Structure 1
């Protein structure tokens, strides 16, 4: 629970908190003044034979209540300044966790539930807790100030039993959180056990194993019933805490009434103290107990599950071995999308020397884009190794991988911003050869049409080919020595495609082209042909003599379409 509380408190922003507290002051005005107003109305008005004076004091309380209503309205308006950023932080955390799992090759089936349900539960209960705790603190401070102004001796009778009930409630929160978590887990175990039994109900009936099936569910049922009873016991303790903190002060004042009168306190003063208990401390404590004891426990448990699922474990010490060049080497690589799926790649061996120009061709769905992702470290092989410069990509931290390779997929990404920002964000400094890069790739006309480097890019207004041109210039300017173009020119015409690929080949470094047209293979030094049964690797002449599939692709002149 401490972790969840620290996370929630750490998410508070100073400015919104100050504004929320500022508007809480007029909201607390009626509670702070109620006892004092009643005391004056009774002593100076009704008991003194001046009813109009008493009514005047009560009218003043009505006016203060109107001021308090304005404060309440503004408090609710300001509440979103805290609750919505908190929700946004959780959304980013959940999405980031799901993306990390995906990059690591692990599925995250619970991410959607966390994003659509659990985050909303936490956001709503977070707002409710803010209101409950804020209202409690502001009201109690106002009541204590009011009690001291009416009669310090009455405050001395009321505050200690109230604090006793409050401390008892706070002390049981840890137990309540554990009981709530136990109830949630017991409910999940029961649902899992019952679901498995119900799924096999027909087989159970046919085999006559009803008793065995009932025994499978009996244990989780008992655990869930015990957890619910323990949770009910916690609810009873909450009620006891409220009785001590909310009703005991009232009884103390009533029993001490004669003693207070003997000490010279008036009836109005005693009624004012009782008013503070009945209309100030009791509602504040009741809201705190119900808010923190109910929605607060849901908040802690649900937030805890989100944090458990999205906390990034400490990474092992990153591999800081210096890479020996940037050769790409695959040894015995096998990869399948799922434990029961047919492998897309099986026992693949491949070496791409530094500075080589490789084209990858093959029919649709054969594994070309999968290979690109494996080369770039976006996927991890089920078996075998992928190394760059002699270091496995799975052991390289993201910053080192990003420094070694750049990948441009078929659906090129551009963002709203200037042309310069889109072209240069993979570079640490504004490159001096920006004009040369734009000219080499063939994007001069596009840059001019967009208004030069200061022109604004509106992604929705660009064609797929225009987006690819911008992404190609961006990759060309990247300092990474390995460039992987995964059908990154498929929306360009053959002339533009040739110009872009020749620019990358002349750029230096290693170039891997997932070919959209077989003409890309004719421009490459080496070609890898994937045919589903295996792979063939060699230059154009060798493959034309040994690979029927490669001859067919070249003869047909048709594209080796995307994965």
Structure 2
């Protein structure tokens, strides 16, 4: 069922994926606080390692007091155990942020797919690629958040540790570290560009190979082996060149790690005489080396790996997702027609540029207040016709008008389409029934008209919580029918919307909508629906016939055959 304009206005504005990155971080501030608090505990060893080793040497082993030395090392082990517990909590908290980010991207991709022209919506390969890119982006997002967070907290802890252990150590450690970090950050833009170029080259190669594999018989029959092989060789060369260019930039990461992570070790070793002459002991020197080798260098390596791989992959993947999803076009104004007359003039629709039309040059007039049943064999285009009339699909040619207004520009409040699988969401029963019209005005009347009193009682009243999975298909359809009955829409399209109801309930529902007024179009699941209609539209492989039941029995062998095999079902 289509939502009303009011419901559409409540939805948050769709944003680009890059904006979703920051929104995902800001959306749950309590989770961010939890990540920060656990990160402080996780970074405990980064602060304590140098002090513990220095004290273990100078206050313990150097003075022949191994118990004291072992005591400091035991205290360090305790901080590592606490850090392990904190690391687990950090992973869980980051996951709580990453999942909404994935949901935002999925929403973006799905909305983009729905914005495409109907003829291009069937590109399942493109949808699958977008879904895979969303999963890659989610994983990269979590890795970037984890890596950057760990780097920041470790860096602060190491700097505080060095400052409190021996401030002069910062002179030897900090300048090369800053140089290495700056070198890496300066290489990121080029790294991102070449990573994106590699992903695009890899995707083009995959598409070419898939197309060639699917057309091997035609390639052989047409003698195109050399031409196709040359094309694949070109794509392979492009991918190889992109990989070499990417490898050239990634070499900068190794240089940055050498400068920022290991040059400080060399400087501390080379500056040992200066440190000792300043009154520092060997325990402090070893502690400083522990800060660099056990905390600072791994943190820088993690950042280089995290941003250099996951960060660049995230940026490239978000760019691919944004490029694959069409930009939102300005929405045309929605119009409320003066009447609910339906007119189709030469309407043709196919689900692909090379597919046979499902609806072919169809002319149809449904006067205001008419009750039309649509029948025909499976696959004849009945649901497609319902979607065209309600504006869900746009014909490739011809015009579909409701009250003179193009169906795809109708005010959503002017029509209701109920598909075979009725939409019910988690919430109260009242929220489900009032989805298209707030309040309880006319609610009891609609429930009585559709015969849903027993369902309301079984669920526990209007305030009862609804769990869609716990409802039967018929119960979901009945809820959707009551919801549609309450709307101000003058055009009601039921696309096998009563197929899960028993014949008596189906008859009651269709009689209720017929008495309600407006134009009613029913895609019939049972022939009894056709007998209740004023007119019947028979669809059969692109051919259509319209008339009453008696007229179609006389003029259409197909309808006569359908009617001949139909046996009335008892109505209780």
1:382 to 380, 384, 396: 396
DSSP 3-state at the match of 1:333: strand
- Residue aligning to 1:366: 380
- Residue aligning to 2:490: 481
- Residue aligning to 1:441: 450
Query: Does the 8 A contact of 1:165 with 1:242 survive in 2?
Result: yes
> Which string of whole-angstrom CA distances, capped at 9 and with x for unpartnered residues, describes residues 56-87 of structure 1?
43343333333333333433343432333333
Change (3 A) 1:250 1:323: same
- Residue aligning to 1:284: 299
1:309 matched to 2:324: yes
1:424 matched to 2:434: yes
- Residue aligning to 1:295: 310
Structure 1, unpaired ranges of 5+:
none
Change (3 A) 1:108 1:426: same
Task: Quote the Cα distance in structure 2 between the aligned partners of 1:350 and 1:393.
Answer: 14
DSSP 3-state at the match of 2:124: coil
Change (3 A) 1:192 1:419: closer
- Residue aligning to 2:193: 178
> Which string of whole-angstrom CA distances, capped at 9 and with x for unpartnered residues, describes residues 33-65 of structure 1?
222233334444455565554444334333333
- Residue aligning to 1:29: 44
- Residue aligning to 1:8: 21
- Residue aligning to 1:327: 341
Task: Quote the Cα distance in structure 2 between the aligned partners of 1:199 and 1:482.
Answer: 45
Query: Does the 8 A contact of 1:98 with 1:108 survive in 2?
Result: no
Change (3 A) 1:154 1:492: closer
Task: Quote the Cα distance in structure 2 between the aligned partners of 1:496 and 1:126.
Answer: 51
Query: Does the 8 A contact of 1:358 with 1:527 survive in 2?
Result: yes
- Residue aligning to 2:514: 505
Deviation at 1:143, TM superposition (A): 0.7
Deviation at 1:124, TM superposition (A): 3.0
Q: Answer with 34-43 or 100-109: which moved more.
A: 100-109
Query: Does the 8 A contact of 1:95 with 1:111 survive in 2?
Result: no
Task: Quote the Cα distance in structure 1 between the aligned partners of 2:468 and 2:287.
Answer: 67
DSSP 3-state at the match of 1:354: coil
**TM-score normalised per structure 2:** 0.84
Query: Does the 8 A contact of 1:437 with 1:473 survive in 2?
Result: yes
> Which string of whole-angstrom CA distances, capped at 9 and with x for unpartnered residues, describes residues 334-384 of structure 1?
122333333222111122232222233344433222211111112221211
Task: Quote the Cα distance in structure 1 between the aligned partners of 2:383 and 2:214.
Answer: 39
1:514 to 491, 509, 523: 523
Deviation at 1:94, TM superposition (A): 4.0
Query: Does the 8 A contact of 2:122 with 2:352 survive in 1?
Result: no
Deviation at 1:524, TM superposition (A): 3.5
Change (3 A) 1:331 1:292: same
Q: How does 1:263-278 map to 2 (within 5 A)?
A: 263-278=278-293
Q: Answer with 327-336 or 66-75: which moved more.
A: 66-75
> Which string of whole-angstrom CA distances, capped at 9 and with x for unpartnered residues, describes residues 405-453 of structure 1?
112234444455544344332212222x222222223333444444443
Task: Quote the Cα distance in structure 1 between the aligned partners of 2:121 and 2:76.
Answer: 62
Query: Does the 8 A contact of 2:334 with 2:409 survive in 1?
Result: no
Deviation at 1:146, TM superposition (A): 1.0
CA RMSD of aligned residues (A): 3.4
Change (3 A) 1:389 1:26: same
Task: Quote the Cα distance in structure 2 between the aligned partners of 1:203 and 1:544.
Answer: 47
DSSP 3-state at the match of 2:43: helix
Task: Quote the Cα distance in structure 1 between the aligned partners of 2:100 and 2:218.
Answer: 51
Task: Quote the Cα distance in structure 1 between the aligned partners of 2:46 and 2:388.
Answer: 66
- Residue aligning to 1:338: 352
- Residue aligning to 1:163: 178
Q: How does 1:81-96 map to 2 (within 5 A)?
A: 81-96=96-111
Task: Quote the Cα distance in structure 2 between the aligned partners of 1:155 and 1:307.
Answer: 44
- Residue aligning to 1:258: 273
Query: Aligned pairs, how many?
Result: 551
Deviation at 1:18, TM superposition (A): 1.4
Change (3 A) 1:80 1:204: closer
Task: Quote the Cα distance in structure 2 between the aligned partners of 1:5 and 1:529.
Answer: 50
Q: Answer with 330-339 or 103-112: which moved more.
A: 103-112
Q: Answer with 448-457 or 282-291: which moved more.
A: 448-457
Query: Does the 8 A contact of 2:390 with 2:408 survive in 1?
Result: no
Deviation at 1:292, TM superposition (A): 2.2
- Residue aligning to 1:65: 80
1:123 to 119, 127, 138: 138
1:39 to 54, 60, 74: 54
